[in-house]
Amino acid sequence: MAIFPGSFDPITNGHLDIVGRSLRVFDDVRVAILVNPDKRPLFSVEERVAIIREAYRGNRRVAVDTFSGLLVDYAEAVGASVIVRGIRAISDFEFEFQMALMNRRLNPRIETVFMMPAESYSYLSSRLVKEVFQLGGKVTGLVPPVVERRLREKYGAASRAIEAPPARPRRIR
């Protein structure tokens, strides 16, 4: 079993791509959402769990969970020996490299495996999805349908206001 840890606020097709690739190598993948009290997420941890559950409904090889504290401690507790992380570009590498080596120092029994998504997702991030959606841009094809729906519910009136065409000025006689 491999653990795929992250914030997933919200999960994107880039994340799904990495899960799909992981399933070709590992029997089971556990998507583990980090509960981080220092961050102010758009979706609560419960919402993120529900979203990922819905995205993988019927797939018994993908589980969803949350954790806090050290990732290696969580991995050890659930009996996983592999951490999967995605690398989009060189810019991801430095931070990921540092984390992987620190985790190895903390627990040498746990290995970090990096996977590259399809090029079409290499520019995709949860932050960008939120920003684009909020400004009225389309995110279809970048996130699973459940995320699009949840974003619409979350931003509700604000995003509709951006979508609505501006009112025609009335001629005054």
Q: Which residues bind ligand ADP (CB under 6 A)?
A: 6-8, 12, 14-15, 17-18, 85-86, 88, 92, 117, 121, 124-126
User: Could you tell me the two tokens for 35?
Assistant: 């509960």
Q: What is the 3-state secondary structure (H, E, C) of 130-144?
A: HHHHHCCCCCECCEC
- Please state, in angstroms and rounded to a whole number, the distance separating the CA atoms of residues 11 and 34: 13
- Nearer to ligand ADP (CB atom), residue 44 or residue 158: 44
- Nearer to ligand ADP (CB atom), residue 121 or residue 133: 121
Give catalytic status of residue 171 as yes or no: no
Nearest to 34 by CA among 115, 130, 99: 99
- Nearer to ligand ADP (CB atom), residue 19 or residue 159: 19
Give catalytic status of residue 53 as yes or no: no
Closest separation between CB of residue 55 and ligand ADP, Å? 14
- Please state, in angstroms and rounded to a whole number, the distance separating the CA atoms of residues 104 and 15: 23
From 30, 48, 85, 88, the catalytic residue? 88
From 15, 30, 85, 150, the catalytic residue? 15
From 21, 85, 126, 159, the catalytic residue? 126
Longest dimension (CA), the chain: 81
- In the complex, residue closest to ligand ADP by CB: 14
Residue with tokens 């606020």: 9
Residue 104 corresponds to which amino acid? Answer: R
Give catalytic status of residue 15 as yes or no: yes
The catalytic residue positions are 15, 39, 88, 126
